[in-house]
């Protein structure tokens, strides 16, 4: 699990009540893990998951999967790119969006790298997903790429609903579009089961970008995962329920904020706490401003942060370039609706 | 023959045309936008007195921004946020036009994010509290409800004087000055004599522009400055000499070939005040360090030597390559020993053209009108051939259209372009062996095409030949070196890797070349 900044980080997961198999997973992957995907996998609710395992833990991970009846296949090693400046020197840097890492072969000895693995009960499904599962990693100063159709097959292999992979095909173009915004436009009443905004923490009921934040297929699958998780770890389930049920301020895939508050009227939110959704390109300045505010108002491209009656921050969100930013509120609370 | 034109009329007409284009595009996409429509009404009612709005650089920039947003399909894809705010910005120009014409009609102006919102043209701005950002205020008869409407006071954008003093518009010299900044701007100043009237102009111009063009830009900018300084209607302007568009906003000095001019400029600044000379010293030092770190594109060493000679050493000048003892490449020896032929540098095809109209029409649909470009990894693009991704998207978004295209391709005359497209379609349909066979066949003729190698590698990946795909990903340079230093020969390639444990997929030309690299570089 990636570190969560803000008013509502989770308790250390290994200190919670956990099933044996989940504890075993978290002992191997205490950070940057995907406990919910793993539970869905062992419960047969998800066909394949991909994961990143430190080399030193690879044997333990493989054994754990075998003991759980899962087949494991390996791809390459990822080593995170350090900082924005390094990323700017890569040829094809425009393709580096939510993943920014160097690739190394599995056999190479690379400190601080993690092995990219694919796991699942069905060997054929795992290998088919692995075949389509190459990431845009950097090798020799250049980003690598795969045929675009492989992205779709990868999503199918991981069990994403067809409607969501279709939405991905329509809208996933960082040069001119914004997927969370398109999903918001299509949403009538946001459901916390479809809230994948915190997906890089591994603590969301849905792991993919949904076609809409009330997608029935996504919600049904997520509900089954949630029931399973309540058996494996009630504490984790409770945390995910809480953080996924907040209203969120969203600007694009890189920038989202979970606020402890309520939507007063469309575009206006009153709150007393904020948690930053972790990504590799967070807006820390806006997060800091929100942390000392109590109210936010969206006025077209502007987000005003207020402390009482005083405006403490005005954030102008530009949609005319790469990774277009459009501010909107997604209200996942029981009383809420998107606005 | 240089053509004389009236710049004011040109700017006015150009921006009116752009505004009308914007109005029609927005209306067609989303219905009439109230702010854009009101702006057109306000300008029409004001008539020529509103020229100050139309020729203000900010109006031109707003038009450019709207056109760019529309070109990016913002009305369809991203109608909220920036697009809404940009349409609303039209209200500032409408209010400005009404102030100039003395109209009694009010305008609901949308306030920007800053403490002041300019009304370009009459030299006015609205001062307001931060809490009003993004909200509306009624401007009527040169006053704004609950806000202060005052004379605008701000420096001309992007044009600052190195001495820090306010520029004396009547004391300009016809010499370029370099602005304190990262190397982005060349500032030109000059004067235009018109009878008894002398107007100073400043312009931001590309450093690569000719002296004549730079002069024309400066003279054209005089019109802008006059509007800033004096809101009375313009008359008796006379005519200007220019053959270029209105002044650009910013110039990037990115070609070291222009450094010779900068060095001459530096020599001419000896007699000017120290601060201007110091600014240029800073710029030249930066350029020297950029050259040394290969951040500037330059193919020769002359400029680096000039810089170093003038006192700005280039820190990491590439040393002359050491003479290398010529040794026989062991792989090449194996290749020729097995009956293959080596080859030296040879002219390489750069495109795969269609040979019939069917294929040509398909290429046009797939963003490759004319021919499919071959990727020789010579620039910053990852991929030169866009057809594969277009076909992939088409298959995901409109399966009937994709299948129709596949049928049409089946009617095309055989050619490299047709075979490549057929290979892509086969891949998308999951027929990886068929795709690999087509890519393999093309690689015999175009072994220098990195895109083809990528596509073949991923076809192999889907045929469980992960090791060979990884070889392409991790050792593409070596693969291309071997493929382009020999005459492609599948029999020789396969023979070289036969008889030993071989990775799956090594029976094709591409597979065999990849297998050979794999064994030599990553045998585990």
Which pair of structure tokens corresponds to residue B500? Answer: 């030993």
Q: Mapping DSSP to helix (H, G, I), strand (E, B) and coil, where does residue B249 land?
A: coil
pLDDT digits (tens, 9 = 90+) for B498-514: 876 666 677 889 999 99
Give yes or no for A143 touching B (CB within 8 A). Answer: yes
| Chain B residues within 8 A of A328 when measuring between CB atoms | 80
| Chain B residues within 8 A of A127 when measuring between CB atoms | 464
Give yes or no for A308 touching B (CB within 8 A). Answer: no
Predicted pLDDT of residue B239 = 29
Q: Which of B74, B78, B382 sits opposite A145 (nearest CB)?
A: B382
- Would you say B152 and B131 are in contact if contact means Cβ atoms under 8 Å apart? no
- Would you say A33 and A202 are in contact if contact means Cβ atoms under 8 Å apart? yes
- Would you say B133 and B100 are in contact if contact means Cβ atoms under 8 Å apart? no
CA distance B360 to B418: 9
Q: Which of A142, A300, A327 sits opposite B88 (nearest CB)?
A: A300
- Would you say B12 and B63 are in contact if contact means Cβ atoms under 8 Å apart? no
Predicted pLDDT of residue B418 = 94
Helix axes B90-101, B34-46, angle to 10 degrees: 20
Q: Which of A143, A148, A320 sits opposite B389 (nearest CB)?
A: A148
CA distance A335 to A317: 28
The predicted model gives B272-282 an average pLDDT of 55
Residues 6+ apart with CB under 8 A from A274: A6, A7, A257, A258, A259, A260, A287, A290, A291
| Chain A residues within 8 A of B388 when measuring between CB atoms | 147-148
CA distance A302 to B113: 7
| Chain A residues within 8 A of B366 when measuring between CB atoms | none
pLDDT of B379 > 70? The answer is: no
Least confident of A303-307, B275-279, B384-388, B404-408: B275-279
Nearest by Cα to A298 from A280, A286, A281: A286
Does B522 sit within 8 Å of A302, measured CB to CB?
no
In terms of Cβ atoms closer than 10 Å to its own Cβ (0-12, 13-18, 19+), residue B265 is buried
Q: Which of B80, B470, B476 would you mutate first to test chain A, the one with the most A CBs within 10 A?
A: B80
Q: Mapping DSSP to helix (H, G, I), strand (E, B) and coil, where does residue A96 land?
A: coil
Which pair of structure tokens corresponds to residue B344? Answer: 């030296």
Does B73 sit within 8 Å of A149, measured CB to CB?
no
- Would you say A331 and A339 are in contact if contact means Cβ atoms under 8 Å apart? yes
Residue entry with tokens 């992205």: A151
Q: In degrees rounded to 5, what are phi and psi of residue B205?
A: -130, 155
The tens-digit pLDDT sequence of chain A (339 residues) is 578 899 999 999 999 999 999 999 999 998 779 999 999 999 999 999 999 999 889 999 999 999 999 999 998 999 988 766 666 677 777 777 777 889 998 888 888 889 999 999 999 999 999 999 999 899 988 889 999 999 999 999 999 999 999 999 999 999 899 999 999 999 999 999 999 999 999 999 999 999 999 999 999 999 999 999 999 999 999 999 999 999 999 999 999 999 999 999 999 999 999 999 998 889 999 999 999 999 999 999 999 999 999 999 999 999 998 899 999 999 999 765 544
- Quote the ipTM score: 0.91
Predicted pLDDT of residue A109 = 84
B258 to chain A nearest CA, in Å? 24
Does B470 sit within 8 Å of A105, measured CB to CB?
yes
Which pair of structure tokens corresponds to residue B318? Answer: 């590439």
pLDDT of B368 > 90? The answer is: no
| Chain A residues within 8 A of B382 when measuring between CB atoms | 91-92, 95, 142-143, 145
In terms of Cβ atoms closer than 10 Å to its own Cβ (0-12, 13-18, 19+), residue B95 is buried
Angle (CA) B54-B60-B64 rounded to 5° is 140
In terms of Cβ atoms closer than 10 Å to its own Cβ (0-12, 13-18, 19+), residue B453 is buried
The predicted model gives B171-198 an average pLDDT of 39
Q: pLDDT confidence of B375, banded at 50, 70, 90?
A: confident
- Would you say A36 and A202 are in contact if contact means Cβ atoms under 8 Å apart? yes
CA distance B280 to B293: 20
The predicted model gives B241-262 an average pLDDT of 32
Residues 6+ apart with CB under 8 A from B294: none
Residue entry with tokens 């071997």: B482
| Chain B residues within 8 A of A77 when measuring between CB atoms | none
Give yes or no for B85 touching A (CB within 8 A). Answer: yes
Report chain B's mean pLDDT, rounded to a whole number.
Answer: 74
Give yes or no for A264 touching B (CB within 8 A). Answer: no
Predicted pLDDT of residue B384 = 87
Predicted pLDDT of residue B6 = 58
Residue of B nearest to A166 (CA): B396
Residue of B nearest to A145 (CA): B382
The predicted model gives B224-246 an average pLDDT of 31
Residues 6+ apart with CB under 8 A from B154: B118, B125
Which pair of structure tokens corresponds to residue A81? Answer: 């790119």
CA distances from A321 to A69, A264, B368, B487 (A): 47, 31, 24, 45
Angle (CA) B113-B66-B127 rounded to 5° is 25
Predicted pLDDT of residue B332 = 85
Sign of the Cα pseudo-torsion (B73, B76, B78, B83, in order):
positive
CA distance A168 to A253: 13
Q: Mapping DSSP to helix (H, G, I), strand (E, B) and coil, where does residue A261 land?
A: strand
Give yes or no for A25 touching B (CB within 8 A). Answer: no
The predicted model gives B216-228 an average pLDDT of 47
Does A143 sit within 8 Å of B382, measured CB to CB?
yes
Least confident of B34-48, B156-170, B392-406: B156-170
Where would I find the H helices in B338-428?
357-365, 387-397, 399-410, 416-428
Nearest by Cα to B383 from A96, A135, A148, A92: A92
Q: pLDDT confidence of B253, banded at 50, 70, 90?
A: very low
Nearest by Cα to A21 from A42, A1, A40: A42
Size of the A and B interface in Cβ pairs below 8 Å? 132
- What b/e string do you get for A268-287 counting C-beta neighbours within 10 Å, with b at 16 or more? bbbbeebbbbbbbebbeebb
The predicted model gives B3-29 an average pLDDT of 80
CA distance B480 to B431: 26
3-state secondary structure A129-171: HHHHCCCCCEECCEECCCCHHHHHHHHHHCCCCHHHHHHHHHH
3-state secondary structure B84-152: HHHHHCHHHHHHHHHHHHCCCCCEEEECCCCCEEEECCCCEEEECCHHHCCCEEEEECCEECCEEEEEC
pLDDT digits (tens, 9 = 90+) for A40-51: 999 999 999 999
pTM greater than the 0.80 cutoff:
no
In terms of Cβ atoms closer than 10 Å to its own Cβ (0-12, 13-18, 19+), residue B166 is exposed
The predicted model gives B12-21 an average pLDDT of 89
Strands (E), A183-243: none
Give yes or no for A162 touching B (CB within 8 A). Answer: no
C-alpha torsion B449→B450→B456→B459, nearest 10: -140
* DSSP symbol at A73: E
- Would you say A254 and A99 are in contact if contact means Cβ atoms under 8 Å apart? no
Chain centre distance of CA B276: 31
Q: In degrees rounded to 5, what are phi and psi of residue A103?
A: -105, 145
Q: Which of residues 89-148 of B touch A (CB under 8 A)?
A: 113, 129-131, 133-135
Q: Which of A105, A166, A300 sits opposite B84 (nearest CB)?
A: A300
Angle (CA) B231-B232-B234 rounded to 5° is 110
Does A319 sit within 8 Å of B74, measured CB to CB?
yes
CA distances from B500 to A29, B175, B496, B503 (A): 40, 74, 10, 10
Stronger pLDDT, B496 or B55, i.e. the higher one: B496
Give yes or no for A307 touching B (CB within 8 A). Answer: no
Give yes or no for B472 touching A (CB within 8 A). Answer: no
Give yes or no for B80 touching A (CB within 8 A). Answer: yes
Stronger pLDDT, B287 or A295, i.e. the higher one: A295
Which pair of structure tokens corresponds to residue B176? Answer: 């370029």
Which pair of structure tokens corresponds to residue A37? Answer: 């995907």
| Chain A residues within 8 A of B130 when measuring between CB atoms | 311, 314
Does B473 sit within 8 Å of A144, measured CB to CB?
yes
Give yes or no for A20 touching B (CB within 8 A). Answer: no
Nearest by Cα to B430 from A158, A58, A137, A153: A153
pLDDT digits (tens, 9 = 90+) for B321-347: 444 444 567 888 888 888 888 887 767
- Would you say B218 and B187 are in contact if contact means Cβ atoms under 8 Å apart? no
């Amino acid at each position: 699990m990636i570190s969560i900044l803000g008013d509502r980080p989770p308790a250390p997961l290994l200190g919670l009540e956990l099933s044996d198999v989940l504890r075993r997973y978290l002992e191997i992957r205490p950070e940057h893990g995907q406990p919910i995907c793993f539970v869905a996998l062992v419960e047969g609710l998800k066909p394949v998951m991909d994961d990143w395992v430190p080399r030193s833990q690879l044997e333990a991970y493989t054994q754990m999967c075998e003991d759980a009846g899962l087949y494991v296949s390996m791809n390459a090693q990822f080593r995170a790119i350090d900082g924005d400046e390094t990323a700017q020197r890569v040829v094809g840097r425009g393709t580096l969006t939510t993943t920014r890492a160097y690739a190394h072969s599995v056999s190479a000895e690379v400190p601080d790298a993690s092995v990219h693995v694919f796991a699942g009960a069905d060997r054929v499904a795992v290998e088919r997903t692995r075949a389509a599962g190459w990431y845009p990693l950097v090798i020799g100063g250049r980003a690598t790429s795969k045929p675009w159709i492989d992205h779709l097959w990868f999503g199918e292999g991981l069990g994403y609903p067809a409607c969501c992979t279709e939405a991905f095909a329509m809208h996933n173009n960082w040069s001119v579009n914004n997927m969370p915004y398109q999903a918001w436009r299509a949403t009538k009443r946001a459901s916390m089961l479809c809230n994948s905004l915190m997906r890089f923490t591994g603590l969301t009921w849905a792991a993919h970008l949904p076609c809409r934040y009330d997608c029935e297929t996504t919600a049904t699958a997520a509900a089954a995962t949630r029931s399973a998780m309540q058996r494996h770890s009630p504490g984790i389930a409770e945390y995910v329920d809480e953080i996924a049920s907040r209203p969120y301020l969203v600007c694009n895939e890189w920038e989202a904020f979970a606020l402890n508050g309520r939507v007063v009227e469309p575009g206006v939110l009153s709150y007393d706490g904020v948690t930053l959704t972790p990504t590799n390109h967070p807006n820390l300045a806006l997060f800091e401003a929100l942390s000392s505010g109590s109210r936010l108002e969206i006025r077209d491209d502007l987000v005003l942060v207020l402390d009482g009656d005083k405006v403490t921050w005005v954030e102008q969100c530009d949609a005319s370039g790469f990774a277009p930013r459009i501010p909107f509120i997604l209200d996942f609370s029981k009383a809420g609706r998107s606005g | 023959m240089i053509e004389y034109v009236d710049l004011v009329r040109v700017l006015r007409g150009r921006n009116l045309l752009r505004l009308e284009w914007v109005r029609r595009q927005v209306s067609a996409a989303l219905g009439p936008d109230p702010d854009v429509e009101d702006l057109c009404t306000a300008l029409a009612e004001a008539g020529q007195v509103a020229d100050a709005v139309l020729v203000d650089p900010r109006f031109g920039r707003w038009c450019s921004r709207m056109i760019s947003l529309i070109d990016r399909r913002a009305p369809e894809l991203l109608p909220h946020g920036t697009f809404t705010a940009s349409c609303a910005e039209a209200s500032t120009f409408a209010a400005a036009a009404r102030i100039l014409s003395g109209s009694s009609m009010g305008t609901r102006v949308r306030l920007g994010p800053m403490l002041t919102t300019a009304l370009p043209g009459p030299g006015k701005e609205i001062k307001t509290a931060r809490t009003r950002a993004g909200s509306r205020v009624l401007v009527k008869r040169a006053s704004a409800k609950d806000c202060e409407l005052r004379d605008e006071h701000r420096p001309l954008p992007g044009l600052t004087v190195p001495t820090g003093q306010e520029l004396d518009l009547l004391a300009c010299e016809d010499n370029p000055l370099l602005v304190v900044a990262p190397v982005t701007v060349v500032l030109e100043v000059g004067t235009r004599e018109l009878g008894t009237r002398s107007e100073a102009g400043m312009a931001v111009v590309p450093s690569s522009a000719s002296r004549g063009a730079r002069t024309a830009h400066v003279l054209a900018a005089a019109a802008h400055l006059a509007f800033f300084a004096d809101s009375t209607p313009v008359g008796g302007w006379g005519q200007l000499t220019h053959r270029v568009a209105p002044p650009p906003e910013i110039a990037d000095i990115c070609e070291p070939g222009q450094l010779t001019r900068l060095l001459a400029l530096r020599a001419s600044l000896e007699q000017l005040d120290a601060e201007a000379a110091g600014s240029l010293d800073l710029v030249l030092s930066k350029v020297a360090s950029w050259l040394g770190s290969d951040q500037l594109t330059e193919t020769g060493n002359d400029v680096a030597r000039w810089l170093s000679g003038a006192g700005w050493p280039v820190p990491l000048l590439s040393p002359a390559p050491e003479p290398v003892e010529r040794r026989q490449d062991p792989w090449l020896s194996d290749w020729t020993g097995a009956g293959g032929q080596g080859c030296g540098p040879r002219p390489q095809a750069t495109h795969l053209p269609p040979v019939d109209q069917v294929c040509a029409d398909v290429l046009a649909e797939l963003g490759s009108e004319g021919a499919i470009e071959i990727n020789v990894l010579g620039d910053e693009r990852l991929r030169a051939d866009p057809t594969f991704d277009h076909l992939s998207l088409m298959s995901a978004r409109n399966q009937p259209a994709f299948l129709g295209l596949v049928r049409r391709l089946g009617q095309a005359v055989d050619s490299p372009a047709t075979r490549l497209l057929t290979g892509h379609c086969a891949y998308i349909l999951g027929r990886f062996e068929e795709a690999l066979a087509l890519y393999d066949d093309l690689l015999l003729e175009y072994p220098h095409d990195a895109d083809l190698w990528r596509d073949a590698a991923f076809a192999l990946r889907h045929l469980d030949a992960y090791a060979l795909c990884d070889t392409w990903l991790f050792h593409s340079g070596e693969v291309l070196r071997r493929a382009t230093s020999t005459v492609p020969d599948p029999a020789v390639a396969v023979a070289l890797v036969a008889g030993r444990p071989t990775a799956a997929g090594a029976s094709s030309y591409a597979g065999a070349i990849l297998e050979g690299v794999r064994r030599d570089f990553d045998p585990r």
